[in-house]
Structure 1
């Protein structure tokens, strides 16, 4: 069966675009390198932006509950303000509630031990206090011997993902070799009795976990008689909205400071935390600007490459125009060429971006992961960027008379 005229025209355009690329192979290689650089730049900025959302909820991801109760002055997970300490017991009596678990969380001061030529220094670190009988987190490390060790005053476990700036013995990451380390936390002696793995992020690049009693000793301000968050598990986890309304009714009936507490579903809390870090913090806004600038830089690079290519083949395009080929045909031919450039530049750019993600994550302790949405989004952006640049680069040809182009 013969191909349709439309398919034949598409084949001719693609063939011409391909011959333009292969005829000047060195120029094509340079063009692929330039466009690939732009694509890698976009990947990196999106990776940094994505890490903001990924690290915003690392603490929430470990909470075995459906509803959170928090202060009306809550800012973010490491600055939650406080609630009356008796609130967990008061909420436990709600018929829909299976249990209400207290969690203390905040930021304190860690003294990095002096080693060799490196002097001791003080750094901010997140700290979380849990009831060891009913831990607020799903962590296997809160079992067995480590759990027994945490009952001793001043004992802490440290997140394995904490930055090496906090002074692990191997100067790489915290692990078994650091068990037994003693240092100062909030100017009070503390002993590392184990490690756990939760994940840190942009809000805090290190984290400690301890009992609630130790938390009160290792924080700058007294916390006794208060609680940072209350984690509510429902008897019927599928009936979250009904449980939420019941808790809200109980809070309103309590009076005092407790009546001002806010109940929110865990899912909604995660969403609000991500939105805050994306849109209400300098870090998130900087990375959004970075993504925009990467797209602009990529578009400029693509335009310069394709404008140079159009200038190099101007006489050929003029000949086609003089022969009667329409402006639409020329535009579609250049779109085919720019699309081919984007498609050829994309695979090596993707591989390089994945390598850079791994290197960046290893050196910054900030998780940056590739995902399918980002891959297809950047591919679409690369195609759109190159095609838009190609059309703009062709405007000189489209505005000129064929006789003036020779």
Structure 2
């Protein structure tokens, strides 16, 4: 009987391929939109992941996300260093500043100042140059991956900034002495690294320019206990890397409306896909009622007919799901090269599979109600 069920499913090739195409479209829409949402969420924490040498971040309680500029007093650093369980603590500057290319092109940049002595807070991977080059006079590091798109001169041929080029930050000259490779970030502005002392000189004249304190706990210490000690001693917000990533993502997604927009897209993908796939499979079953009637007339039980319908539903669900997820992955990874945020953890294909199986199961159940009520005599009608 199961071979008969599959022959019924594939007998009309147009309907068969149409059914699979409808389910594939639903699966593709679900995984693609959900993967873009996850990709954008992960990009919001790119700077934190690139600065993961520390265990804890100390910041002003008003800080809402990683690029929020709420400065700390310089005296905070010593209080942090004197807290039980702290191995070391270094200052970090981060802020939006104005830059000017050699041709006069103006742009906004994110300037990051790392500890002069230890270079803690530096980008994880260098493309050109070495960390020691940052101690040279007027030295800064640029992102080698994004310099060609974010640090472009608009005049004189429109070329990108290269190593050795000089430009200004807040009307003070700097020179590109190294290029690093950073993670793709949600924020468009180019991230430029320099030493902490130089960042204070390049930034505004405000004496409170320390953005964060990066903290490493001593080996064997409980991170939660040290975190509580820091909060009690300083009265500031203290977050782990994962907590800071979550706080940043939560704020960005809610403040920009991305969560609502892509959430609705995923929901619409499920709903539209459900309607298309469910209606198509339901119509397929109705079109084959005469065949089911013939089988009933031959003595086939309702249980066997039910298993036949479930087999048909499972077959098209698995095939459609596989094609849809494959297409969504190929398109997503292809567009990723062009800058599209795309990340597909295993939970997304699992969610898509559960959605597709549920849709097909519901359509099969509705179809079976008609099959069970079917009179065998229908096969003898004209």
Quickly name the TM-score band, shorter chain normalised.
Answer: 0.7 to 0.9
Does 2:114 match 1:130?
A: yes
TM-score (norm 1): 0.78
Distance in structure 2 (CA, Å) of the matches to 1:191 and 1:164: 17
2:179 corresponding residue in structure 1? 195
Residues 40-61 of structure 1: CA distance to partner in whole angstroms, max 9, x if unpaired? 1111111111113322322222
Does 2:351 match 1:377?
A: yes
Residue 273 (structure 1) aligned to one of 224, 245, 248: 248
The answer to whether the 8 A contact 1:71-1:262 is kept is: yes
Structure 1: 5+ residue stretches without partners: 1-11, 115-119, 170-175, 252-258
TM-score (norm 2): 0.83
Summarize the alignment of residues 6-405 of structure 1 with structure 2, pairs less than 5 Å apart. Answer: 12=1, 14-61=2-49, 62-109=51-98, 122-137=106-121, 139=123, 141=125, 146-152=130-136, 154-162=138-146, 164-167=148-151, 178-186=162-170, 189-204=173-188, 206-216=190-200, 218-219=202-203, 221-236=204-219, 238-251=221-234, 259=235, 261-279=236-254, 281-320=256-295, 330-364=305-339, 366=341, 368-392=342-366
SS across alignment from 2:337: helix
Does the C-alpha gap of structure 1 residues 152 and 43 become closer, same or farther in structure 2, counting only changes over 3 Å? same
The answer to whether the 8 A contact 1:159-1:197 is kept is: yes
SS across alignment from 1:227: coil
**1:161 Cα deviation (Å)?**
4.0
The answer to whether the 8 A contact 1:141-1:195 is kept is: no
Structure 2: 5+ residue stretches without partners: 154-159
Residues 355-381 of structure 1: CA distance to partner in whole angstroms, max 9, x if unpaired? 222222110163x23333333332222
Q: 1 or 2 for the larger relative contact order (CA 8 Å, sep ≥6)?
A: 2
Distance in structure 2 (CA, Å) of the matches to 1:26 and 1:143: 54
Does the C-alpha gap of structure 1 residues 188 and 354 become closer, same or farther in structure 2, counting only changes over 3 Å? farther
Of residues 313-322 and 227-236 in structure 1, the stretch that sits farther from structure 2 once superposed is 313-322
**1:332 Cα deviation (Å)?**
4.2
The answer to whether the 8 A contact 1:106-1:128 is kept is: yes
SS across alignment from 2:338: helix
The answer to whether the 8 A contact 1:154-1:218 is kept is: no
**1:159 Cα deviation (Å)?**
2.3
**1:277 Cα deviation (Å)?**
4.1
The answer to whether the 8 A contact 1:303-1:392 is kept is: no
Distance in structure 1 (CA, Å) of the matches to 2:130 and 2:193: 11
Distance in structure 2 (CA, Å) of the matches to 1:132 and 1:320: 82
RMSD: 3.4
Residues 311-355 of structure 1: CA distance to partner in whole angstroms, max 9, x if unpaired? 321322344456676666545433321210121123333332232
The answer to whether the 8 A contact 1:182-1:190 is kept is: yes
**1:285 Cα deviation (Å)?**
2.4
Distance in structure 2 (CA, Å) of the matches to 1:113 and 1:20: 72
Distance in structure 1 (CA, Å) of the matches to 2:102 and 2:324: 41
Residues 224-259 of structure 1: CA distance to partner in whole angstroms, max 9, x if unpaired? 4331111111113541122123222321xxxxxxx4
